[in-house]
Amino acid sequence: IILGLVLFVLNIPHLLFLSLLHQRAPLDVNRRIIELIVRKEQKEQVSSSVSAVSPHPNNNYSVHYWMGCHSTPLYSHLHIRLGGRSHDIPTQIDTRTLDCSPSCRLTQDCESDAFHQDPVGFIQH
């Protein structure tokens, strides 16, 4: 019993690290994207109310993830509602990821491979 308790206590730091910190960057990236969009939309709402122009914000955004396939959760973590309960304005976020589908794997011509071989060339192309 004592040995089991000691092993459990020794593993607590590992459990905390793996559950709270390890590989959390993909989720943090999506949180940051949401923060930036909300901040931009709030700024536009304030400026439109000051200028007495009818607020009609452009709620369509596009995000291109230049990282390995399936590296980040997409739509499950990119939901934004602006305007409060009385005037919910849905925000559309279109995402694009590097192609690494099975069909491109058959031809050996995948965007993800091209990006990893030459990131600067891929972006400039």
Question: Which residue has better confidence, 91 or 85?
Answer: 91
- Give the type of residue at 40: K
- The pLDDT confidence band at residue 11, using thresholds 50, 70 and 90, is very high
Q: What pLDDT, in 10s, does the model give residues 48-89? A: 555 444 444 567 888 888 887 777 887 777 777 665 554 556
Question: Phi/psi at 97 (nearest 5 deg)?
Answer: -120, 165
Tokens read off for 52: 């007495």
Nearest to 96 by CA among 124, 118, 74, 125: 74
What does pTM read for this prediction?
0.66
Q: Are 111 and 99 in contact (CB under 8 A)?
A: yes
